[in-house]
C-alpha cells in the first residue's frame, strides 16, 4: 500500500495539462469516486492495524497534494485566459457603457455650486428627527396642520420621533451650536405622508438656506435670490416676490421667476401668467432665533427653501415626478449630456 501511495505521489507531482479537457481527465483519474485515490481508500480497511496510522497519513498527504496540483493547473489556465483577454486588440476602447448622473443630483449640485460661490457652506443633519427640531424650534404651533398624521410620518413606538418634513431641522441644529454670522445651505431628502402621483411623492428633496448676522435685510435676501435665479435659469430671468405665510419667517414671501419658455408672455406651462413659482422665503422670525439661542435684538436673518424636483422640472420639463425614483435607464440616458 505504501509503495502504491508513493508511486501516485510521484505521478501527481509531475502531471501536466495543455487544456481544460486534459485537466478534467486528470481530475477524474485521481480524485473522482472511481479514481485511483478513492480506490486506495477503499482498500484501506485491509491494512494491518499496526500500519493504519502511517498509511492513513500518507493517504491524506496524497489526496491533499492531488487537489492542490489540480487547483494550480486550473489557476494557470485562468491566468492565461485573463492575459489573452487583456491583450485582445480587437476589443473596443470602452466595452462597458458609462452611466450618467441622476438629474436630481445634477440640479442639486448646480444649486450648491451657485450658493457656494456666494459664501454659503453645506450643513447636514439626520433624516429621522425629533419633534423639537422639525416643528417646535421652527415656531410651529402645537395644533399646526403639519403635525397631523396626514402630513408627517411618525415612529409608532416613539411619537416624538418623526421623518423630517423639511430640512429646516438642520438650520435649527446649526443655530443651536453656532453663533452668527451663519451662512449655510441644507440639502437633503424629506418625507411627507402624501399620495404618490405624477405631481407628488411621499419623499422628495429640498435645499434650504439660512443667513444670520447683524443688519441683515429683506433687500439682501432679494439680491441673493435674483442672483441665484439668473445663474440657474439664464441672465434674462426676472423674479417677483408675493406675500405669503410660513411659521418660521416674518415677513414671508413666495418667489416666482419669469417663464423661460414664453419669455413672460404667457403659455400653457406658466398657465398664461408669464410667471412660475419656485421657492418660499422670508426674514427669520425673532421667535425662531430666540428658541435656538440667538439674540433677536442683535441679529436678524433670512431663510429660503426650494424643492429640487421643482427646479429640475423647470430646467428639463419632466412632467411626472415618479420618473425620478423609478430607475428607468431610458429616462436617465436623456441626461448624459448634462453631466
| Percent of all residues in the chain with a pLDDT value above 90, rounded to a whole number | 41
**For the ranges 232-236, 241-245, 265-269, which has the lowest average pLDDT?**
265-269
Say if residue 84's pLDDT is above 50: no
The domain locations on the chain are 2-86, 103-338
Across 285-307, average pLDDT: 95
Annotated ligand binding at 250? The verdict is yes
pLDDT mean across residues, the chain: 86
CA distance 222 to 224: 6
Q: pLDDT band at 298, cuts 50/70/90?
A: very high
Cell 483577454 -> residue: 85
pLDDT given at position 332: 84
Statement: residue 199 has pLDDT above 60: yes
Q: In which residue are the cell numbers 398664461 written?
A: 272
Q: Is the pLDDT of residue 182 over 90?
A: yes
Q: Are 129 and 164 within 8 A, CB to CB?
A: yes
- C-alpha span between 129 and 125 (Å, rounded): 9
User: Using 50, 70 and 90 to split pLDDT, how confident is the model at 139?
Assistant: confident
37 or 214: which carries more pLDDT confidence? 214
Residue keyed to cell 428639463? 316
Predicted confidence band of residue 150 (pLDDT cuts 50, 70, 90): low
Classify each residue of 57-96 as buried b or exposed e, where b means 16 or more C-beta atoms within 10 Å of its C-beta: ebbeebbebbeebbeebeeeeeeeeeeeeeeeeeeeeeee
State the pLDDT confidence band at 149, using cuts at 50, 70 and 90: low
Which CATH number is correct for 103-338, 3.30.930.10, 3.30.2320.30, 3.30.9.10, 3.40.50.10860? 3.30.930.10
pLDDT score for 331: 85
Amino acid at each position: 500500500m505504501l509503495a502504491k501511495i508513493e508511486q501516485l505521489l510521484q505521478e501527481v507531482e509531475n502531471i501536466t495539462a495543455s487544456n481544460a479537457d486534459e485537466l478534467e481527465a486528470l481530475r477524474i483519474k485521481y480524485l473522482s469516486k472511481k479514481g485511483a485515490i478513492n480506490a486506495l481508500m477503499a482498500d484501506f480497511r485491509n491494512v494491518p492495524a499496526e500500519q493504519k496510522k502511517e498509511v492513513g497519513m500518507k493517504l491524506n498527504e496524497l489526496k491533499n497534494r492531488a487537489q492542490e496540483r489540480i487547483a494550480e493547473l486550473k489557476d494557470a489556465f485562468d491566468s492565461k485566459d485573463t492575459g489573452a483577454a487583456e491583450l485582445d486588440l480587437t476589443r473596443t476602447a470602452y466595452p462597458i457603457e458609462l452611466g450618467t448622473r441622476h438629474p436630481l443630483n445634477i440640479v442639486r449640485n448646480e444649486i450648491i455650486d451657485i450658493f457656494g460661490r456666494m459664501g454659503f457652506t453645506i450643513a447636514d443633519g439626520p433624516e429621522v428627527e425629533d419633534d423639537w427640531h422639525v416643528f417646535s424650534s421652527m415656531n410651529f404651533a402645537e395644533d399646526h396642520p403639519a403635525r397631523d398624521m396626514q402630513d408627517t410620518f411618525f415612529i409608532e413606538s416613539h411619537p416624538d420621533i418623526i421623518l423630517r418634513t423639511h430640512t429646516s431641522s438642520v438650520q435649527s441644529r446649526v443655530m443651536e451650536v453656532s453663533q452668527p454670522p451663519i451662512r449655510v445651505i441644507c440639502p437633503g431628502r424629506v418625507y411627507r405622508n402624501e399620495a404618490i402621483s405624477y405631481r407628488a411623492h411621499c419623499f422628495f428633496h429640498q435645499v434650504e438656506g439660512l443667513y444670520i448676522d447683524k443688519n441683515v435685510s429683506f433687500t439682501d435676501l432679494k439680491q441673493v435670490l435674483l442672483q441665484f435665479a439668473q445663474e440657474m435659469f439664464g441672465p434674462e430671468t426676472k423674479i417677483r416676490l408675493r406675500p405669503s405665510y410660513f411659521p418660521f419667517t416674518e415677513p414671508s414671501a413666495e418667489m416666482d421667476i419669469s417663464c423661460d419658455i414664453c419669455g413672460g408672455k404667457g403659455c400653457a406651462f406658466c398657465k398664461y401668467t408669464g410667471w412660475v413659482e419656485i421657492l418660499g422665503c422670508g426674514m427669520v422670525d425673532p421667535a425662531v432665533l430666540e428658541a435656538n439661542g440667538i439674540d433677536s435684538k442683535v441679529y436678524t436673518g433670512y431663510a429660503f427653501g426650494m424643492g429640487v424636483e421643482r427646479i429640475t422640472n423647470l430646467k428639463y420639463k419632466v412632467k411626472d415626478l415618479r420618473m425620478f425614483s423609478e430607475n428607468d435607464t431610458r429616462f436617465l440616458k436623456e441626461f448624459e449630456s448634462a453631466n
